[in-house]
Amino acid sequence: MEKTEQGNFVEILKNTLAEMPEGKIDFRGPGDEFVSVIFIDGDILLIDSTWGTGNDQLQRIYDWETGTCVIKDLTADEKKTLETAWQRPVILEEVKKEAREAISLEHSVEVKALLRDLKRESLDLNAFLAEIHNKNYSGEARISTQQGDNRILFYQGLPLLLSGRQHIAMGEARDIMDTPGATLNFYLFDDELALAYFSVILGEKVWQGLSVTVLHLDKMLNKLMEKNPTGHLCIHKEHGDRHYCFFYQGKPLGVYDIEKHWSPVDISTMWEGAKQVDYYLSAEMESFLAKAKEMSASEDLRTLIASWNDLMEEIAKKIGKKPVEKSLQKQFGGGLNSYAQEGIRLQLVGDISRSGYEALETFRLTVPDFLKEMETITGSHWLNVQLRNFQEKNSAIIARLTLTDVFPQKGG
């Protein structure tokens, strides 16, 4: 059998290895050059070319990218050659050596387990998530329940992605982690590894399922890193194991086994037992981070408004509900697209995840004038005490929403 094909050389090679039990592909260069690949059972056993033999000649089809090739059956002489000098283990050992030289990394980025197989009932979940948020931690939460498993990627203190979907709010993350009987793990790592790990949960597939014998690994890796990618290689091993090599803007971060727990892998052994490799890039993060910040601000604002309503109750106890209600109506009346007033209490209305900015700006611009009116009735000293308590209780939220200047301390 012999046939001629035109197209992308790497795709032709991949498809032919998957579809034919054995054969030979002659790739033709732009002139009279050629690269010949002989394979059996999906493994490349011999590479010959105009320039000589050896694994490094495979790089030329990557450089040529597209063209014409001839696919044919093996001859008896070619099969005999394979039984002698060109054994697959010889080529694979060279591949492994080249790969070790291609990635230089003394130590993998540290991954610290803040929670490891911890039962939900033994954790102060609210305090834990507050620490993650306030300290801008990045990492991964893993939640195992009888209904299934979930993974949540945190970035700079915010839940960014949930496995199986995209955006997730802190309240939703808390509810998932709060499932009765859940087993919790949380792995803390730096922002760069978080951005690279993004490609595991929601990555852009570059290629998948390529045999390690198809790839000239040292040059392939060097070429990938030249483009400053952020993402990962998933290395499929014998017996179904998988290792992940992460990189950020072309800088290797480490190789890990992440199937059950995050465990670093000696990078010099990353290709041992390797069969296939997947390559994924992280999607653009800006829109996801902007959405996460918007959702977080909306949740913070809801919490702050609830505390603000408590403050209104305290003021009403001193001066009565009517003056408070009247002043709220006067000051917040123009912002009722975002707020509904029920007596002396404010409620956020509509889809706050979409209109959160408008509601926050209304609050920012309205509160100072409202407090000035209250000060003339209550006196600045009494109001200062109430505001100080309000600020201490909500200091983290006030800082995140940049509302510090909205609650100035008055004299008197």
Domain ranges (residues) in the chain: 2-86, 112-282, 288-406
Nearest residue to 212 via CA among 245, 239, 235, 230: 235
Q: What is the pLDDT of residue 215?
A: 59
Sign of the torsion formed by the C-alpha atoms of 100, 104, 107 and 112: negative
Structure tokens at 274: 């390797």
Pairwise CA distance, residues 243 & 270, whole Å: 7
Enumerate the β-bridge partners of residue 200.
none
Question: CB of 409 within 8 A of CB of 388?
Answer: yes
Question: CB of 230 within 8 A of CB of 199?
Answer: yes
Structure tokens at 305: 């408004």
Q: What is the pLDDT of residue 91?
A: 42
Maximum alpha-carbon separation in the chain:
103
Other beta carbons within 10 angstroms of residue 174's beta carbon come to 15
Question: CB of 33 within 8 A of CB of 53?
Answer: no
Structure tokens at 60: 């030329």
Q: What is the pLDDT of residue 313?
A: 94
Question: CB of 363 within 8 A of CB of 389?
Answer: no
φ/ψ bin of 249: left (φ > 0), alpha (ψ from -120 to 50), beta (otherwise): left
Sign of the torsion formed by the C-alpha atoms of 157, 402, 285 and 248: negative
Burial class (CB in 10 A: 0-12, 13-18, 19+), 272: middle
Nearest residue to 214 via CA among 10, 65, 22: 10
pTM here is: 0.62
Nearest residue to 284 via CA among 322, 230, 321: 230
* Residues 98/104/108/109 CA torsion (nearest 10 deg): -130
Pairwise CA distance, residues 368 & 327, whole Å: 12
pLDDT in tens, the chain (412 residues): 899 999 998 889 888 988 888 899 999 998 889 999 888 877 777 788 998 877 667 778 888 989 999 999 988 877 766 654 433 333 444 444 444 444 555 567 889 999 999 999 888 988 898 889 888 899 999 999 988 899 999 998 888 888 866 678 888 888 899 999 999 999 999 999 999 999 998 888 888 877 776 655 656 677 777 788 999 999 999 888 999 999 999 888 989 999 889 999 887 788 788 888 889 999 777 777 777 777 778 888 888 999 999 999 999 999 999 999 999 988 887 555 678 888 999 888 866 555 567 888 888 888 999 999 999 999 989 999 999 999 999 888 888 788 888 876 554 4
Structure tokens at 26: 């002659």
